[in-house]
Structure 1
Amino acid sequence: MILRTLGILVLASVLEVGGDALVRIGLHSYGYPLAAGAFALFAYGILVNQSGVDFNRLMGIYIAIFFVVSQVISLVLFKQVPDDRIILGGGFIVAGGLLILLMT
Structure 2
Amino acid sequence: MILKTLAILVLAAALEVGGDALVRVGLRGPVYWLAAGGLVLFAYGVLVNLSGLDFNRLMGIYIAVFFVVSQVISFIFFRQIPDDRILLGGGFIVTGGLLILLMS
TM-score interval for Structure 1 and Structure 2 normalised by the shorter chain:
over 0.9
**Alignment-derived partner of residue 97 in structure 2:** 97
Structure 2: runs of 5+ lacking an equivalent: none
Distance apart, 1:78 and its partner CA: 0.8
Count of residue pairs brought into register by the alignment:
104
**Alignment-derived partner of residue 75 in structure 1:** 75
Deviation string for 1:7-66 (max 9, x for gaps)? 110000000001001100110002332111111000000000001111100110000000
Distance in 2 (CA, whole Å) between partners of 1:55 and 1:92 is 21
**Alignment-derived partner of residue 38 in structure 1:** 38
Structure 1: runs of 5+ lacking an equivalent: none
Distance in 1 (CA, whole Å) between partners of 2:60 and 2:30 is 34
TM-score, with structure 2 as normaliser: 0.96
Deviation string for 1:58-95 (max 9, x for gaps)? 11000000000000111111111100000000000000
The one-letter amino acid of 2:46's match is I
**Alignment-derived partner of residue 87 in structure 1:** 87
**Alignment-derived partner of residue 60 in structure 1:** 60
Residues 1:51 and 2:51 are matched in the alignment: yes
TM-score, with structure 1 as normaliser: 0.96
Task: Extract structure 1 runs of 4+ deviating beyond 4 A.
Answer: none
**Alignment-derived partner of residue 17 in structure 2:** 17
Distance in 1 (CA, whole Å) between partners of 2:8 and 2:46 is 11
The one-letter amino acid of 2:78's match is F
**How big is the alpha-carbon RMSD for the aligned residues of Structure 1 and Structure 2?**
0.8
**Alignment-derived partner of residue 28 in structure 2:** 28
